[in-house]
Amino acid sequence: MSENVSKQIRSEVTKEGKLLIYVESTAMPEPKEDEVLIRIEASPINPSDLGLLIGPADVSSMSVSGEGENAVVTMDIPEGLLRMLETRLDQSLPVGNEGGGVVVKAGSKDLEDLVGKTVGVAGGSMYSQYRCVNAASCFVMHEGVTSAESASCFVNPLTALGMVETMRLENHSALVHTAAASNLGQMLIKICLDEDVPLVNIVRKEEHVDMLNGLGAKFVCNSSKETFMQDLVSALVETGATIGFDATGGGKLSGQILTAMEVAANQTATEYNRYGSNTFKQVYIYGGLDRSPTTLNRAFGFSWGLGGWLLTPFIGRIGPERFEELKQKVADEIKTTFASHYTKEISLEEVLQPENINVYSKQATGEKYLVNPNK
């Protein structure tokens, strides 16, 4: 590789309704005074990355022209969804929210002690061979931590921690989490066990029930079972959980959680209320694994809330001091509580290969891809 060039993945939506994904060579970035230059060696493909990389494009329409690093992936975007993307039309955008790598250059003498350190970092454009970032944003890892181990230092760990923080900030004492067998879900289980927070986990497969029980999870409900609602209500009665975080987004699961919370609350009610229980129930949607409309059956009274939850506003809510404390906790426990697991490591060129796209675009639990731009 030329010392003056850095390659990166780009995503572009055209006015004609086509999605283009390709590798682009850019000038080697030069760190400013408060920045460091990082050789990116690992970056996960998270659902939030797919929102930019692929978005609402129809993967079944995929075609590829060219080969290797000159390949261009093309997909159709359904006409009705193109309006959602009006502000990004004909813009070539870099992809990758977070990553891990090694600091290779400092922008000032004050930062030279970071050179050679393995760091985790967020800030976009992480499917790049080299990336300049503000030194203060780096998660500096302990000796012996690899780039792959530090790659998922931001989105999943801070989201899991953010759920527990939000629970406390909003005066709840226990919580519900869906897609609980994911890397994030496993982190949340460890956090809740360590901090003695009752947690109700929802999964879709029986093998995931067994896996989470093996991690120490006490309450795991399988949404594909006929007894799901009964099992969920029982878990909510025992835990008292009144706040949930739903990664699926679409479909009926958020409504089912609110309904089960209402049933659980009424089991301890001392008198009838025609407006439903007075217990406030909250579900936050923080993902879109199910892209169908969110449906509510309204069987949960009037004391409830349904909204979106996003990591960036949460970080602003808790302030810089608490954010730094959470960052340090992640760095200290990156090999334990916040360890991530990947099924495949791929290069920038391999990001463009249809056989890989068909897997990582499904966002299936247990199928987590790691991009190594310098592979």
CB count in 10 Å sphere of residue 196: 6
pLDDT band at 2 (very low <50, low <70, confident <90, very high): low
What residue ranges do the domains of the chain occupy?
Answer: 5-152+340-371, 156-313
Task: Evaluate whether 340 touches 44 at the Cβ level (below 8 Å).
Answer: yes
pLDDT of 69 strictly over 90? no
pLDDT at 270: 64
pLDDT at 364: 83
Q: For the chain, give me the number of helices (H) and strands (E)?
A: 10, 20
pLDDT band at 365 (very low <50, low <70, confident <90, very high): confident
pLDDT at 233: 98
Question: 3-state class of 336 per DSSP?
Answer: coil
Distance, in Å, from the CA atom of 140 to the CA atom of 322, rounded to the nearest integer, reads: 17
Position 125, amino acid: S
pLDDT digits (tens, 9 = 90+) for 190-217: 999 999 999 999 999 999 999 999 999 9
Q: Which H helix or E strand runs over 231?
A: helix 228-239
Q: Which H helix or E strand runs over 257?
A: helix 253-266
pLDDT of 269 strictly over 70? no
Q: Which fold has domain 156-313?
A: Rossmann fold (3.40.50)
Cβ within 8 Å of residue 282, ≥6 positions away = 170, 172, 242, 243, 244, 304, 305, 306, 307
Task: Evaluate whether 60 touches 370 at the Cβ level (below 8 Å).
Answer: no
Distance, in Å, from the CA atom of 213 to the CA atom of 241, rounded to the nearest integer, reads: 19
Give this prediction's pTM.
0.89
Given this structure, which CATH class describes domain 5-152+340-371? Answer: alpha beta
Averaged pLDDT score across all residues of the chain: 95
Cβ within 8 Å of residue 332, ≥6 positions away = 142
User: How large is the average pLDDT for residues 78-91?
Assistant: 93
pLDDT of 171 strictly over 60? yes
| Distance between first and last Cα of the chain | 11
The answer to whether the 5-152+340-371 and 156-313 domains have the same CATH topology is no
Helix then strand then coil, in percent of the chain rounded to 5, is 35, 30, 35
Q: In degrees rounded to 5, what are phi and psi of residue 155?
A: -60, -60
Distance, in Å, from the CA atom of 137 to the CA atom of 1, rounded to the nearest integer, reads: 27
pLDDT of 3 strictly over 90? no
β-bridge partners, 36? 106, 133
Q: In degrees rounded to 5, what are phi and psi of residue 69?
A: -75, -5
User: How large is the average pLDDT for residues 78-106?
Assistant: 95
